[in-house]
Amino acid sequence: MSEREVSREPMEAYIPPTDDEERVEALPQQEEFWRPPVRFGTIPVEKEPLGWDKRKGFYKLFPRVSLPFQIVERVSFGHPDLPANRLIWGDNLHVMRQLPSESIDLIYIDPPFFSGRQYNIIFGDQNEVRSFTDIWEGGMPGYLIWLNARLYEMKRLLKKTGSIYVHCDWHASHYIKVEMDKIFGYENFRNEIVWFYRRWTNVQSNFQRMHDVILFYSKSDRYLFNKVEIPVREYLQERKQKGWNSNTVESGGKRIRQLIVYDREAFTQAVQAGRVKPEEWDKIVYAEQRTLYAPDVWEIPFINPVAKERIGYPTQKPEALVERIIKASTQEGDVVADFFCGGGTTPAVAQRLGRRWIACDQSRVAVAVTADRLIRGAQQLQMDLAIPDFTVEYWGVYEARRLSQMPECAFRAFILRCFGATPNTDPNEPHIHGYKGSVPVWVCPPDARYEVSHTDVVAFANAVRRSIRYQQSDLREGIMLGWAFTPEAREAAEQLRQRAGVDVNFIRLELIRIDSPRFRQHVASLSTNHADYENFLTFIQPPRVEVGYERVASLTYRFDVSDTVVVNPGARIINVQWDFDYDGRQFRSTQGYALSKASAPVVYKFPRAGKFTIACKVQDDKGGEGMWVGEVEVK
């Protein structure tokens, strides 16, 4: 099987290595390129990327956090036999560390530009604010260290035939290229692509800035590249022939007259003089239009303000830009990834072009907007393309309500993984669900309303006493994990602790709430000066959405969510989405209503009178998402 065929195999489940198995991959050898110049004496040369430790790589500054993925939704397009694509909410560094090596054909990223704190905070999600605050600590070096750790993981994820495109601007493009040379190898640099766009600003003190930079690297010298043809204009002053002439060509079995225009001004004069008949204008061929292989300067306009692809996302990039990259560096069925997916342009284009994809963002609103965009896009494609399902997954922040709906075995395995414990596979110890080190762990049932009782405490203590480890060692400890504990349970645990002080046969039990700081202490302990892990591993609740509405004119209604109750402590609503013709199966926001503020009511004019089903999704800044569905009799 060839490497290109391997790229179409299903994405397999991947178990990331433990800390003991952690292996730091070597950086490319570039001794000749980075050799200190002897002629000028001893000059220090930095051959490793900023933030790199010779022994632990980027794990020294950004320790590994192994937490499970929670699938909160699977969006179906009627082809469950196809491998599902993945849309992930979470910190992309740790998400990438749990993906399998050499599993991706193309990575395109549009990371935060080094252009100002507020520019990169789109919605004010708490995860977004924390991460972008970290980026700016230490100025440019801090920004590059933050980015380098992620670029290093992206290199690991790429197949040997894979490529990466990094979108940046003048603030940091030169610095990023130096770092990418060190990570990917100077010899694997392929292009500095200039995306040229037009703006009509009036800048007096310097030339107008009208371009971004896209750095194109390959994983090796065996990378896939498809030549892309684009239409361009041949400059008229380079043509020897001026004016216009006619030509007769075959078309549909008929010979027709074709007008070939070389000079627009001369042609306009011919029209005005009556030498060209109006009925012949539709046969015009402009000779200055032709195609050639795409150069490294791309003139692609910003998204038209009224274009259907515009969703209102502040940093949204044109689909034409991403389409050119995907066509150049992948084939149908290949895997495309974007770990700063924002408004979802990359997965939307990949889906349309028949590629598989993985998308990730640390903003819950970005994930909601992307999911909505993919659903609406699939609706237009389903007649022509078998579209795979996609899953919406959380990493590090989990919906407690959905956890309580999991099967008991799956729930307990999930909680043990979050707690840093391993499941117990010994069938002779059914009441010991796992071990944290050598300490037995018990996990409550999934129902969030379940309170651990006195009976549970006694039963677990007896199970520990009967265990082989109790008999063969001095083990006298145990941990019970639960959503809540009754007073009697806490009293029983306290009595056991007191007796354990005078009688070694008794067990010391620690009762830990699943949503408490003690539960995530093993994660918080990894926090360093450059990585805020304190807020990893949290449990959230959806807001209770309430929608009010009133008729303001014929077929026109005003809607608001002012009565919505936010359940997560300290949270606030940051985005509201509206589907004014909900089909009861898949939420598809109405065009222009994927992003809206909770503080401002929205006004919508229905196309006709009658009964409509309305759906409203609300996201808060802690990651909670709730949905309301109701019927409105439109008059």
The span from the CA of 399 to the CA of 538, in Å, is 9
Who has greater pLDDT, 44 or 445?
445
For 147, the token pair is: 């980015």
What is the pTM assigned to this prediction?
Answer: 0.85
d(CA 588, CA 566): 23
Most confident of 12-21, 153-162, 503-512, 582-591: 153-162
Residue 635, classed as helix, strand or coil, is coil
Q: Are 144 and 168 in contact (CB under 8 A)?
A: no
What confidence category does residue 2 fall into, taking pLDDT thresholds of 50, 70 and 90?
A: very low
Region 373-392 average pLDDT: 86
DSSP designation for 171: T
Of the candidates 214, 107, 120, which has an alpha carbon nearest to the alpha carbon of residue 151? Answer: 107
Residue 521 or 124, more confident: 521
Main-chain phi, psi angles of 459, to 5 degrees: -65, -40
Residue pLDDT, tens place only, 157-187: 999 999 999 999 998 999 999 999 999 999 9
- Give the pLDDT of residue 280: 59
- Residue 51 pLDDT > 50: yes
256-313 per-position pLDDT tens digit: 555 555 556 666 776 777 776 665 555 555 555 556 788 899 988 888 777 788 887 7
Contact 315, 340 (CB under 8 A): no
Per-residue confidence (pLDDT) for residue 8, from 0 to 100: 41
Question: What are the residues facing 565 on neighbouring strands?
Answer: 544
What is the sign, positive or negative, of the torsion defined by CA atoms of 294, 298, 299, 304? positive
Give the domain 30-68+102-226+297-334+345-352 fold: Rossmann fold (3.40.50)
Asked whether the predicted pLDDT for residue 47 surpasses 70, the reply is yes
Q: Is the pLDDT of residue 39 over 80?
A: no
How confident is residue 13, by pLDDT bands cut at 50, 70 and 90? Answer: very low
pLDDT tens figures, 336-359: 999 999 999 999 999 999 999 999
At residue 239 the predicted structure's pLDDT band, cuts being 50, 70 and 90, is: very low
Check whether 43 has a pLDDT greater than 90: no
Q: Are strands 390-395 and 69-75 parallel, antiparallel or unpaired?
A: antiparallel
Residue 545: pLDDT band (50, 70, 90) is very high
Least trusted range by pLDDT, from 117-121, 191-195, 229-233, 419-423: 117-121
| Best CA proximity match to 156, nearest among 236, 97, 76, 222 | 97
Q: In the prediction, which pLDDT does 238 show?
A: 40
| pLDDT-derived band at 11, boundaries 50, 70, 90 | very low
Residue 529 has pLDDT above 80, yes or no: no
Low-confidence winner among 34-38, 208-212, 445-449 (lowest mean pLDDT): 34-38
Query: What is the C-alpha radius of gyration for the chain, rounded to an integer number of angstroms?
Result: 30
Say what the pLDDT of residue 226 is: 96
DSSP, collapsed to helix, strand or coil, labels residue 140 as helix
- In this structure, what are the phi and psi dihedrals at residue 168, rounded to the nearest 5 degrees? -150, -175
Q: How confident is the model at residue 316 (pLDDT cuts 50, 70, 90)?
A: confident
Q: pLDDT: is 483 or 121 the higher one? A: 483
Dihedral, CA of residue 298, residue 302, residue 306 and residue 307, to nearest 10: 40
How would CATH label the architecture of 540-634? Answer: Sandwich (2.60)
Statement: residue 524 has pLDDT above 90: no
Confidence of residue 21 (pLDDT cuts 50, 70, 90): low
